[in-house]
Amino acid sequence: MFTAKVKALLGTELPIIQAPMAGVQDANLAIAVSKAGGLGSIPCGMLGIEAIVSDIIKVKAATTEPYNLNFFCHQMPDYNQAQHDVWQNTLAKYFIELGISCENGPNSANRMPFNHDIADAIEAFKPEFISFHFGLPEQKLFDRIKSWGTKVVSSATTLEEALWLEAKGVDAIIAQGIEAGGHRGMFLTDDITTQVGSMALISQIVKKVDIPIIAAGGIADAQGVKASLLMGAGAVQIGTAYLLCDEANTSALHRLALKSEKASHTALTNLFSGKPARGIVNRIMNELGCMSALAPSFPHAAIEITQLRQYAEKQGLDGFSPLWSGQNTSGCLDISAKEMTKLLVSQLE
Ligand SMILES: Cc1cc2nc3c(=O)[nH]c(=O)nc-3n(C[C@H](O)[C@H](O)[C@H](O)COP(=O)(O)O)c2cc1C
């Protein structure tokens, strides 16, 4: 019933996009999902150009099925020593407690927005599908990608963002409900009170836009997939449910948290990167407050926190780690990504 439409939208047999998840997966998860008939994603937002190219080569060597490349397109804000000082003073007690000293670190904090250098490197591969988070790149860059015949999609977290993306010429809109794990793709406002749940968001967008919608956020099982398609989505994008899969690189501490009672309490926090993202509530979120005006702008908040995280994790502590997770962990299973993909479509005709 959905096959022709899905083929046209994603180029795949199944209406499933494995959500790109920077920091917890590489090409292996993408390959497994693409081979299973879904659209596997390579999260490029935290990778350098060499690593992006190497992941693409890895996917192409493993399968001829389509895959998705995912990039961030945030504005890079200035970051000066005075701003470093505020954040370092806020975190000083933790550095003292752990007995480590704080370094200023690289200014980019490992997250560069999509740019012409990246486009130069990936152009030869003529990627079939690219998804963006945090809006779209400037028009020239957008037109350049479209000229390759690439399908371009981006996340909308409000009806306004969906209308904005449609007017810019994207091929489909990822409707990211507030239940979603990881970063909010919000880009027209910083006001988190504008963010709505998947059911409300899908209904609002379906009624007002003419291009296909990809539902994301809180979809973790076959019933959720079926319900999203019934509501008018052409496909779904699923992240959290894949976090325990064999091919994901989710850390042992993160896996433990996802399987524990703690997973039922997630919240949006800007402490780990500077932008709101959903993760399992942990020590630093409890002590500093999940949303803090003291956290520097994205991506700079990550510089100091990453140092605490790396040291603490070696001691077996997850109190400074971004335990990204959506609100619905009920579908997380220790199985292969192929099995997960098959399970997710098991209620579709
Ligand atoms: C661990 C994790 C990392 C994520 N990283 C990215 C990313 O790099 N790029 C992106 O576009 N979305 C990212 N997301 C958000 C997903 O694209 C998607 O919106 C979300 O996973 C859907 O909700 P769900 O987690 O409830 O399935 C991430 C989500 C998670 C859980």
Indicate if the pLDDT at residue 332 is higher than 90. yes
pLDDT of residue 80: 87
Find the farthest-apart pair of alpha carbons in the chain and give their distance in angstroms, rounded.
60
**Overall average pLDDT of the 228-235 stretch:** 97
The CA distance from 148 to 136, in Å, is 16
pLDDT digits (tens, 9 = 90+) for 38-51: 999 999 999 999 99
One domain, residues 258 and 151: no
239 within ligand 1 shell (Cβ under 6 A): yes
The CA distance from 135 to 187, in Å, is 6
Nearest in space to 12 (alpha carbons), one of 236, 231, 261: 236
One domain, residues 255 and 217: no
Nearest in space to 216 (alpha carbons), one of 183, 194, 238: 238
24 within ligand 1 shell (Cβ under 6 A): yes
One domain, residues 210 and 273: no
pLDDT of residue 108: 53
The DSSP secondary-structure symbol of 114 reads P
Domain count, the chain: 2
Cis ω for the linkage preceding 299 (within 30 of 0): yes
CATH of the domain at 171: 3.20.20.70
The confidence band for 230, taking pLDDT boundaries of 50, 70 and 90, is: very high
Percent of the chain with pLDDT over 70: 98
One domain, residues 127 and 66: yes
Residues whose CB is less than 8 angstroms from the CB of residue 55 and which lie 6 or more positions away in sequence, other chains included? 26, 27, 30, 42, 44, 47
The CA distance from 290 to 269, in Å, is 4
State the closest ligand 1 atom to the C-alpha of 240, by its place in the atom list counted from 1: 25
14 within ligand 1 shell (Cβ under 6 A): no
In terms of phi and psi (left: phi > 0; alpha: psi -120 to 50; beta: otherwise), the region of 285 is alpha
pLDDT digits (tens, 9 = 90+) for 312-322: 999 999 999 99
Range of the domain at 119: 1-74+111-243+330-349
pLDDT of residue 2: 63
One domain, residues 237 and 286: no
pLDDT digits (tens, 9 = 90+) for 71-94: 999 998 888 888 889 999 999 999
pLDDT of residue 349: 80
CA of 46 to the centre of ligand 1 (A): 13
Mean of pLDDT over the chain: 96
One domain, residues 292 and 348: no
What residue type is assigned to position 146 of the chain?
K
Indicate if the pLDDT at residue 107 is higher than 90. no
One domain, residues 234 and 337: yes
Nearest in space to 281 (alpha carbons), one of 272, 187, 25: 272
CA of 92 to the centre of ligand 1 (A): 30
**Overall average pLDDT of the 217-246 stretch:** 98
One domain, residues 115 and 105: no
One domain, residues 160 and 32: yes
One domain, residues 120 and 44: yes
Cβ contact 137:116 at 8 Å: no
One domain, residues 257 and 207: no
Nearest in space to 32 (alpha carbons), one of 335, 338, 246: 338
Q: For residue 218, which phi and psi values (nearest 5 degrees)?
A: 80, 5
Atom 4, ligand 1: which residue's CA is nearest? 21
18 within ligand 1 shell (Cβ under 6 A): no
pLDDT of residue 4: 85
**Overall average pLDDT of the 190-197 stretch:** 97
**Overall average pLDDT of the 193-222 stretch:** 98
Q: Ligand 1, residues 21, 199, 221: which to mutate, most atoms within 8 A of Cβ?
A: 21
pLDDT of residue 110: 74
How is residue 288 written in tokens? 């500093």
pLDDT of residue 103: 84
One domain, residues 261 and 233: no
